[in-house]
Amino acid sequence: MRVLSGIQPTGRPHWGNYFGAITQYIALQNADQAFYFIANLHALTTVRDREQLSQLTLDAAIDLLALGLDPQEAVLFVQSDVPEVSELCWLLMTGTPMGLLERCHAYKDKKAKGLSADAGLFAYPVLQAADILAFDSDTVPVGEDQVQHIEVCRDIAGSFNHRFGEVFVLPKAKVLDSSARVPGTDGEKMSKSYNNTLAVFESPKVQRKQIMRIATDSRPMEDPKDPETDVLFQLYSLVASDAQREEMAATYRAGGFGYGDVKKALAEAGENFFAEARAQRDDWASRPDDVKEILATGARWARKKASEVLNRAQEACGIKGY
């Protein structure tokens, strides 16, 4: 099994990113081969500040390493360091129907909101397909809302194969565990777009203040409450031990407690849960040259594989070996 996943460097990871995706990506790093990349070319559709994008790219690598990605087990690289992917993107674009791209969610949603969409956003799914196909990836872990991108990739690759022979491996989506959906501080899905996140690497003091501001219902303290429908309990369940979770659930069902006590317990559990990752991040951040060397080594491995696939595609369609 060859696994591939990319993470856009458009902001720092929050609990939703970690529990909903990153922890599951890292669990797959012991596959036959796993490629993980920082998708800085994709990020250019939204981040247009040079210094910001550069820093976010390095931060994303540090974050992944701190959260458990092992460069001895997986290949970690920056997307733009593998130019073969961009070359392959052009080959794919020459045979991708406009109608296919017009039906893609990101483009449709932006147009529906009356927002301007540039060519980068329109062609985004083709670059995404090149990311996947360049490494003969057969498994791509995605959330349910990203399955369409894998279907588009399969359509693009299938069309190329039909014209020029069996060049590309057709990937399959590995849908991430939907039970890992993480509520935000407002009860909606945790998302930077909703401004309802709890950052993984936020300082404990700041995060405690964020947690203490979470709105709760006005039921009397003595009333029993259903833990499964409560945002505080759902968040607590992610970072507490099994014994702590069961004890808190029993407290909810018995009643006679204040939400302030739950918030304090949540803040403490969150601080303890991510303490090691924060320490690891501080260590990696103090050694940026080591991080850059890991990315450079990853890019060399990635380029080797991507070159094989690009050459195969070039020869198949007649722009090499003439």
Task: Give me the active site residues, please.
Answer: 110, 189, 192
Let me know: does 71 contact 298? Beta carbons within 8 Å.
Answer: yes
**C-alpha dist (Å) from residue 151 to 22, 80, 90, 213, 236:** 22, 24, 19, 41, 36
- The Cα–Cα gap between 165 and 244 comes to 57
Phi, psi for residue 110 in degrees, rounded to 5: -65, -40
Torsion sign (Cα): 172, 178, 184, 186: positive
Tokens of 164: 């020029």
- Reported as half-sphere exposure (CB side, CA atoms, 13 A), residue 256 has a value of 3
| Pairing verdict, β 75-78 and 33-38 | parallel
**Residue in the block written with tokens 């902001």:** 11
The helix (run of H) or strand (run of E) holding residue 148 is helix 147-164
**Residue in the block written with tokens 């591939």:** 4
| Pairing verdict, β 75-78 and 139-142 | unpaired
174: which residues sit within 8 A by CB, 6+ positions away? 3, 28, 139, 140, 141, 142
